[in-house]
Structure 1
Amino acid sequence: MGKDIYEQCPSYHKNLITLRQTKLEDAEYLLDCYSDKAAVGFFNSDNCHGDDFYYTTIEKMRQAIDFWNFSYENRQFVRWTIILNETYEKIGTVEMFHREVEDEFNHYGILRIDLQSKYEKYEIISEILNIVTEEFYEAFEITNILTKAIKKADQRILALENANYIPLNKKFMIYDDYFVRSK
């Protein structure tokens, strides 16, 4: 087992993107993602107590980041900001956590990828998934990862399939459109 991700959150760097823990200072930039009506439909807000992640004010974005940081401090999940290496633009976030619920998906990792609609592209999603594959199984002590991709998310689905995710073909809790990848 490696370092405890909740003691020191690592950053991850690839050719196109860097993932680093989301900070309150990201709010202004992330608002471009979370106020993007075309992007919101691709977000996974399943089991998020009615929050659809559509934020139109800087205050709401700051509240979300405060909650994400509180959740990190309480070892619930980690949120990283997705940064384009070429421009340093903050284009979305990635969330990951180790799910502990007594059902058939106990000890699965749940991956959420939120991207501005203009960056909902195969190349960017593929790099995110490369980081997930290389780092998250060990970091979160899991052997399976679930993530959501709605039917019209063709770029995301292509990236998932090329990263060896397969359709779950059944409901995850009460939700549809999940893909799974085993280590």
Structure 2
Amino acid sequence: MFDIYEECPQYSGGLVSLRGTVAEDAEELLKCYSDLEAVPFFNSDNCHGDDFHYETLERMLQAIEFWDFSYRNKYFVRWTVILNSTGEKVGTVEMFHRLAEDEFNHYGVLRIDLQSRCETREIIGDILNIARDDFYTAFNVKAMLTKAVPDASQRISALTENGFIPLGKKLMTYDHYFLGKMLE
């Protein structure tokens, strides 16, 4: 069986492509992680106080180093989101197979961090199409959780258009999750 942690695959949609995040992405990704309008939409739940608001290249590089460490230790995969039309690196996507002693054991958790100008229904929908087509199998999950705060209207529209429904309860102690299930 394919192991996503042996070789990080690249994915392409109509608007964006995803490829494993590398240190050379730091300068462009800093535009996302220093974007004060974007930070409230990032999912920093259970990230030990990191809100993903970075102001320096050094801090961005530290984050990428941690993401690489996490990939090598099979904790999660972090991809850079690249606009197909321009080649710009505008954010990241993270996915992992959640292991926990609760009702959401063996669910996937999807995190999407984008520059505020890219926080659109179309771009998020394209990322969700990639996730639907590839992530359930790649991470061996039948359900996927992702966060969308109430102010994230474009994200919520994309989620509902792609079959995600509000979870209606907390994930651990956190609110505002949506649930997507693999089509049988």
* TM tier relative to shorter chain: over 0.9
Structure 1 stretches of at least 4 aligned residues deviating more than 3 Å after TM superposition = none
State the distance in 2 between where 1:85 and 1:149 align.
24
Find the residue that maps to 2:38 and give its secondary structure.
Answer: helix
- Mapped to 2, the partners of 1:105 and 1:68 lie a distance apart of 23
Task: Give the gaps of 5 or more residues in structure 1.
Answer: none
- The alpha-carbon deviation at position 86 of structure 1 amounts to 1.0
Give 2:114's aligned amino acid: L
Q: Give unpaired runs (5+ residues) of structure 2.
A: none
Q: Give the 5 Å matches for 1:118-129.
A: 118-129=117-128
Shift of 1:153: 0.5
Deviation readout 1:13-40 (Å, 9 max, x if unpaired): 1111100000000000000000001000
TM-score by length of 2: 0.98
Classify the secondary structure of the residue corresponding to 2:124.
helix
Q: Distance in 1 between matches of 2:13 and 2:130?
A: 8
Aligned to 1:130: 129
Q: Identity of counterpart residues, as a percentage?
A: 63
2:151 corresponds to 1:152: yes
Give SS of 2:150's match.
Answer: coil
Counterpart amino acid of residue 174 in structure 2: Y
In the comparison of the two structures, how many residue pairs are matched? Answer: 182
Aligned equivalents of 1:115, 1:35: Cα separation in 2: 11
> What do residues 87-116 of structure 1 show as CA deviations (whole Å, max 9, x unaligned)?
100000000000001111100000000000
The Cα of 1:58 is off from its aligned counterpart by 0.1
Q: Does 1:95 align with 2:94?
A: yes
What is the letter of the counterpart of residue 131 of structure 2?
V
